[in-house]
C-alpha cells in the first residue's frame, strides 16, 4: 500500500529533480564528422570517431590560419561617399548600390567570396588527422562511446574476443596537450599502428622510435609562406614492443598505451617546434592519473560554476543522444533533461573553444575551433553581422565572463586597424570595421554591397559595454572607454541628416543581409539609416555618456553626444502593418522570412524593446516575428529563442528550441533553413556546422530563466509550461550578482543572490516587484 501511494504521488507531481545529466552517448561509431565528439582546451581540439578498427581523430589548433595581414581598404572610396549619399537622398538606392559595388567595397580579393584559403584573407583550417589501425579480429559487442561534458572527456568502450577495451581522450586544461589512453582488461591486448595525416603543406614528417614530429607552413595568399605549424606525438607503451616503420609507430602486445599530442603555430610569436617539444617534455614522465588530476582540477571548477536541473517524470539519460534528439523534436516536454544538457553543452563549448588565460588567445570562430576541412565554410572566420557576437551571448549570464576577454582583445586590436578604414571610406576620425574579420585584423568592407557594407564597430561595442554591465569592473571600463569613444567619434563624424525626417542616420549601409523592392520595381539592399544602425548608434552613444559619468571623466565629447542623441532616429518606428520597420521606408522585403532579424537588435541583444518599458514596441516586435516565421538557419532559430524569451513567451521559446534541435543529417549549405537543426553530436547545423547556433541556443535557455536588462533581476521571465519544477545555481545578473533558486509549479522558491553584501536589489519574483537583500 505504502508503495502504491509513493507511485501515485510520483505520477501526480510535475516531475523529479534528477541529477544533472551531462553525457552525450552513442551505440555506434561516428560515420560522419558531425557525429564525432568535440574535445578542446581553447587552443587544440580533438574529435575522435570511435571506430573499432580504424579510428581517426580530427585534430585542430585554433590559430591554424592561412593568409597574412593585408590592407584591403580602398583609399579612394571617400571620394564617392558624397555621390552615394546623394543618390540615397533621391531614393535611387539601386544606383547608389551600383556605386557602392564599384567604389565602396574592399580592394583585392577580400574574403575570396568565402573561399579565401589561398587568398591573403586566408582561412581557419583543419590541422590534420591522427589515425589508428587496430588489429581486432573477433566479434565486437557492448559498444558504447560518450562525451562527459562535466569532465571534458570522451570514452569509447567495447568488448572484442572476450576482452573489454577502453579508449579515453581529453585535451588537457593544464598543459597544452591532448591525451589518449588505450587500455584493456587483459594484459598484452593493446596492438595498433598509428600515423599522422594531412594532405597539404607538410614540410617535414619524422618518425623516430616512439615519436612522430611534423612541421609545415601555410600559404600567405601572396605567393609566399605564412603561419608555421608543428606537432609532436609520443606513444608511451607499457609492456609489449614498439617500433617505427615508414611513417608509423607500431605497438604490439602492450598492456596499455598513452598517446600524447601537442600542436602549435607561429601565430603566438614562438617557434612552434620548440613549443611542442617543450609541452611534451613537461608531461612525458607523468602517469595518466596525474595528467587526469591536473586536467580535472582546472576544468571542473569553471564548468561547475553553474548547475541546471529541469524536472522530468523520468530520466532519459539511458537513451542514446541521437535518439533523444528525434524524440525531443516530436515532444520536447518529455525530455527536459535534454534542454538542460544542451544548455550546459553550450557552456562546455565555450570553455573548450577559447583560452582566456593565454596570451594572444583567439575567440571561437564560426566553427569554434573544430574543423575537418582545409577550406572551411566562409573561411571559418569571424563574421561580425551576427555570428561572432552570438558566440558570446551566453558567456556573461552563464558565469563564464572571462571567456569574453579574447573577443574583447580582438575588438581592441581591430579598432586600431579600423582607423585606416574610417579614413579610407569617409576621410573620418575614429574607427570602423565592416562585417567580417580574421586573425590578421581585416577591417575593410566585403566584396559585395548587399552583405559586405554594414558596419560592425557599433555592435562590437555592445560587447565591451555588456562585459562592464555584468562585472562592474571600473578599471576595465576605463581601459575600454577610448575604444567606445572612438567608435562613436566615427559615427558622429559620418552620419548625415535624412532630408525627409531630419534624423541623423548612417549612410550608406544595409540591414544585414536583407533586400527590398523599390518603387521602380528594382531590388536593392543599400540604404541610409537601417533600423539596426539606428539602434546600435543610440546604444553606443548611451554607453559613452554613461561611462563618462561613471568614470567622472568630464569628457566634453560625451556631453556633445547628449545633444546628438536627440537627433537620432527613434530606436523603433512601427509600420502601417504594425511591425517594426526594418528600414526608414516601409519597403516590401525581397525575402519576408529572411534569416536575419536585424531590426529586432533592440529586443536582443540591446534592450530598447521590452514588454515592461515599451509595451507597444514589444507588440510590434511580436508581429514582426510572427511574419518572419519560426523557421530559419540554425543561428536564426537560436536568435528567435532569445527574442521570444525577451517577449516573456516561454512556450514559444521552447517551440523554437524544439526546432533548433531538429535532427539534421545532411551537411550541405542552405540559407533558408532547409536542413537546419542539430547534428547527432549536438553541433548546430546552419547547415553546414556553425557553432553560433549552439552558443545562441544555450544563451536562449539562460534568458528563459533569468533576465536583468530592465533594471530588475527578473526570475523565470519566460518559463515554458513544460518546465514546471527545477533548480539552477550560479547564473549571473547585471550588477555582478550570482543567483541561485529553485522553482516549484512555476513559482520561485529558495532564492539566493550573492553580491555586494547588504545591497538591496530590485527583483521580479513570481510576477511581483520586490527589493531583495543580497547575501
Chain residues that interact with ligand FUC, rule: CB under 6 A: 366, 378, 383, 385, 387, 451, 513, 595, 633, 635, 671, 686, 690
Distance between CA atoms of 22 and 349, rounded to whole angstroms?
13
Q: Which is nearer to ligand FUC, 75 or 671 (CB)?
A: 671
Q: How far is the CB of 686 from ligand FUC (least distance, A)?
A: 6
Q: How far is the CB of 126 from ligand FUC (least distance, A)?
A: 18
The grid cell for 287 is 602517469
Q: How far is the CB of 25 from ligand FUC (least distance, A)?
A: 29
Distance between CA atoms of 541 and 564, rounded to whole angstroms?
9
Q: How far is the CB of 54 from ligand FUC (least distance, A)?
A: 33
The alpha carbon torsion through 321, 323, 326, 330 (nearest 10 deg) reads -110
Q: How far is the CB of 437 from ligand FUC (least distance, A)?
A: 12
Residue from 71, 361, 119 nearest 222 by CA? 119
Q: How far is the CB of 114 from ligand FUC (least distance, A)?
A: 8
Q: Which is nearer to ligand FUC, 113 or 577 (CB)?
A: 113
Distance between CA atoms of 280 and 83, rounded to whole angstroms?
60
Contact yes or no for 356/425 (Cβ under 8 A) = no
Q: How far is the CB of 636 from ligand FUC (least distance, A)?
A: 8
* Residues paired with 237 in a beta bridge: 257
Instruction: Give the residue carrying C-alpha cell 565486437.
Output: 140
Distance between CA atoms of 537 and 697, rounded to whole angstroms?
26
User: In sequence order, which residues have a C-beta less than 8 Å from that of residue 492 and are 6 or more positions away?
Assistant: 430, 560, 561, 564
Distance between CA atoms of 311 and 316, rounded to whole angstroms?
12
Residue from 242, 284, 245 nearest 261 by CA? 284
Residue from 56, 65, 39 nearest 179 by CA? 39
Instruction: Give the residue carrying C-alpha cell 550573492.
Output: 754
In degrees and rounded to multiples of 5, residue 405 shows phi and psi of -60, -45
Q: Which is nearer to ligand FUC, 376 or 419 (CB)?
A: 376
Q: Which is nearer to ligand FUC, 513 or 630 (CB)?
A: 513
Q: Which is nearer to ligand FUC, 451 or 644 (CB)?
A: 451
Q: Which is nearer to ligand FUC, 39 or 676 (CB)?
A: 676
Distance between CA atoms of 200 and 577, rounded to whole angstroms?
55
Q: Which is nearer to ligand FUC, 603 or 684 (CB)?
A: 684
Distance between CA atoms of 412 and 414, rounded to whole angstroms?
6
Q: How far is the CB of 628 from ligand FUC (least distance, A)?
A: 14
Q: How far is the CB of 94 from ligand FUC (least distance, A)?
A: 22
Q: How far is the CB of 162 from ligand FUC (least distance, A)?
A: 49
DSSP state of 306: -
Q: How far is the CB of 596 from ligand FUC (least distance, A)?
A: 6
DSSP string, 450-468: HHH----HHHHHHHHHHHH
Distance between CA atoms of 514 and 533, rounded to whole angstroms?
14
Q: How far is the CB of 634 from ligand FUC (least distance, A)?
A: 8
Q: Which is nearer to ligand FUC, 307 or 636 (CB)?
A: 636
Residue from 124, 34, 635, 127 nearest 380 by CA? 124
Q: How far is the CB of 669 from ligand FUC (least distance, A)?
A: 9
Distance between CA atoms of 131 and 773, rounded to whole angstroms?
57
Q: Which is nearer to ligand FUC, 513 or 742 (CB)?
A: 513
Q: Which is nearer to ligand FUC, 143 or 671 (CB)?
A: 671
User: In sequence order, which residues have a C-beta less than 8 Å from that of residue 108 and are 6 or more positions away?
Assistant: 70, 72, 119, 120
- SS3 string, 696-757, reads HHHHHHHHHHEECCCCCEEECCCCCCCCCCEEEEEEEECCCEEEEEEEECCEEEEEEEECCC
Distance between CA atoms of 534 and 570, rounded to whole angstroms?
7
Q: How far is the CB of 690 from ligand FUC (least distance, A)?
A: 6
Q: Which is nearer to ligand FUC, 140 or 670 (CB)?
A: 670
Q: Which is nearer to ligand FUC, 634 or 680 (CB)?
A: 634
Q: Which is nearer to ligand FUC, 170 or 382 (CB)?
A: 382
Q: Which is nearer to ligand FUC, 124 or 229 (CB)?
A: 124
Residue from 665, 658, 638 nearest 336 by CA? 658
Amino acid at each position: 500500500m505504502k508503495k502504491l501511494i509513493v507511485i501515485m504521488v510520483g505520477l501526480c507531481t510535475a516531475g523529479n529533480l534528477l541529477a544533472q545529466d551531462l553525457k552525450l552517448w552513442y551505440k555506434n561509431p561516428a560515420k560522419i564528422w558531425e557525429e564525432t565528439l568535440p574535445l578542446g582546451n581553447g587552443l587544440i581540439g580533438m574529435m575522435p570517431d570511435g571506430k573499432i578498427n580504424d579510428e581517426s581523430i580530427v585534430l585542430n589548433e585554433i590559430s591554424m590560419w592561412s593568409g597574412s595581414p593585408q590592407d584591403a581598404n580602398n583609399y579612394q572610396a571617400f571620394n564617392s561617399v558624397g555621390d552615394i549619399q546623394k543618390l540615397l537622398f533621391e531614393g535611387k538606392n539601386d544606383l547608389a548600390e551600383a556605386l557602392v559595388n564599384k567604389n565602396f567595397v574592399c580592394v583585392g580579393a577580400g574574403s575570396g567570396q568565402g573561399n579565401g584559403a589561398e587568398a591573403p584573407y586566408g582561412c581557419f583550417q583543419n590541422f590534420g588527422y591522427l589515425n589508428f589501425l587496430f588489429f581486432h579480429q573477433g566479434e565486437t559487442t557492448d559498444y558504447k562511446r560518450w562525451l562527459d561534458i562535466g569532465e571534458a572527456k570522451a570514452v569509447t568502450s567495447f568488448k572484442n574476443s572476450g576482452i573489454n577495451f577502453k579508449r579515453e581522450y581529453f585535451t588537457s586544461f593544464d598543459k597544452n596537450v591532448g591525451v589518449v589512453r588505450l587500455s584493456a582488461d587483459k594484459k598484452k591486448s593493446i596492438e595498433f599502428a598509428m600515423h599522422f595525416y594531412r594532405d597539404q603543406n607538410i614540410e617535414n614528417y619524422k618518425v623516430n622510435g616512439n615519436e612522430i614530429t611534423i612541421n609545415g607552413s601555410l600559404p600567405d595568399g601572396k605567393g609566399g609562406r605564412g603561419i608555421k605549424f608543428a606537432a609532436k606525438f609520443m606513444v608511451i607503451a607499457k609492456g609489449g614492443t614498439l617500433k617505427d616503420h615508414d611513417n608509423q609507430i607500431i605497438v604490439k602486445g602492450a598492456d596499455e598505451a598513452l598517446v600524447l599530442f601537442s600542436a602549435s603555430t607561429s601565430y603566438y610569436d614562438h617557434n612552434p617546434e620548440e613549443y611542442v617539444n617543450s609541452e611534451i617534455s613537461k608531461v612525458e614522465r607523468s602517469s595518466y592519473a596525474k595528467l587526469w588530476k591536473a586536467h580535472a582540477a582546472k576544468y571542473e571548477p569553471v564548468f561547475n560554476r553553474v548547475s541546471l536541473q529541469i524536472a522530468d517524470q523520468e530520466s532519459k539519460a539511458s537513451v542514446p543522444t541521437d535518439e533523444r534528439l528525434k524524440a525531443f523534436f516530436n515532444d520536447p516536454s518529455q525530455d527536459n533533461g535534454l534542454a538542460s544538457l544542451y544548455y550546459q553543452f553550450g557552456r562546455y563549448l565555450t570553455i573548450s573553444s577559447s583560452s582566456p588565460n593565454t596570451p594572444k588567445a583567439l575567440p571561437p570562430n564560426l566553427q569554434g575551433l573544430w574543423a575537418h576541412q582545409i577550406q572551411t565554410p566562409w573561411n571559418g572566420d569571424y563574421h561580425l553581422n551576427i555570428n561572432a557576437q552570438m558566440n558570446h551571448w551566453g558567456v556573461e549570464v552563464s558565469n563564464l565572463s572571462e571567456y569574453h576577454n579574447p573577443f574583447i582583445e580582438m575588438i581592441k586590436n581591430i579598432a586600431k586597424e579600423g582607423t585606416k578604414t574610417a579614413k579610407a571610406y569617409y576621410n573620418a576620425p575614429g574607427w570602423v570595421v565592416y562585417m567580417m574579420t580574421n586573425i590578421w585584423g581585416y577591417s575593410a568592407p566585403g566584396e559585395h554591397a548587399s552583405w559586405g557594407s554594414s558596419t560592425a564597430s557599433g555592435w562590437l561595442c555592445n560587447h565591451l559595454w555588456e562585459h562592464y554591465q555584468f562585472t562592474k569592473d571600473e578599471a576595465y571600463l576605463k581601459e575600454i572607454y577610448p575604444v567606445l569613444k572612438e567608435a562613436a567619434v566615427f559615427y558622429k563624424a559620418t552620419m548625415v541628416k535624412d532630408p525627409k525626417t531630419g534624423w541623423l542616420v548612417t549612410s550608406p549601409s544595409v540591414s544585414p543581409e536583407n533586400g527590398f523592392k523599390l518603387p521602380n520595381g528594382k531590388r536593392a539592399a543599400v540604404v541610409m539609416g537601417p533600423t539596426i544602425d539606428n539602434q546600435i548608434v543610440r546604444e553606443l552613444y548611451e554607453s559613452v555618456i554613461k561611462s563618462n559619468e561613471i568614470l567622472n571623466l568630464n569628457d566634453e565629447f560625451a556631453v556633445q553626444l547628449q545633444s546628438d542623441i536627440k537627433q537620432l532616429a527613434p530606436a523603433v518606428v512601427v509600420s502601417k502593418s504594425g511591425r517594426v520597420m526594418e528600414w526608414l521606408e516601409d519597403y516590401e522585403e525581397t525575402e519576408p522570412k529572411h534569416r536575419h532579424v536585424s531590426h529586432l537588435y533592440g529586443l536582443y541583444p540591446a534592450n530598447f524593446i521590452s514588454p515592461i518599458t515599451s509595451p507597444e514596441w514589444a507588440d510590434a516586435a511580436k508581429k514582426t516575428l510572427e511574419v518572419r516565421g519560426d523557421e530559419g538557419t540554425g543561428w536564426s532559430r537560436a536568435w528567435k529563442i532569445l527574442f521570444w524569451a525577451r517577449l516573456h513567451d516561454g512556450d514559444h521559446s521552447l517551440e523554437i528550441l524544439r526546432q533548433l534541435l531538429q535532427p539534421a543529417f545532411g551537411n550541405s549549405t542552405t540559407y533558408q533553413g532547409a536542413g537546419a537543426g542539430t547534428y547527432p553530436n549536438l553541433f548546430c547545423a546552419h547547415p553546414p556546422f556553425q557553432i553560433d547556433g549552439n552558443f545562441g541556443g544555450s544563451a536562449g535557455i539562460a534568458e528563459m530563466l533569468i533576465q536583468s536588462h530592465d533594471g530588475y533581476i527578473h526570475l523565470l521571465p519566460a518559463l515554458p509550461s513544460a518546465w514546471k519544477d527545477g533548480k539552477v545555481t550560479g547564473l549571473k545578473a547585471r550588477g555582478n550578482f550570482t543567483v541561485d533558486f529553485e522553482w516549484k509549479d512555476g513559482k520561485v522558491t529558495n532564492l539566493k543572490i550573492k553580491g555586494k553584501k547588504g545591497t538591496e536589489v530590485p527583483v521580479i519574483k513570481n510576477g511581483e516587484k520586490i527589493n531583495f537583500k543580497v547575501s
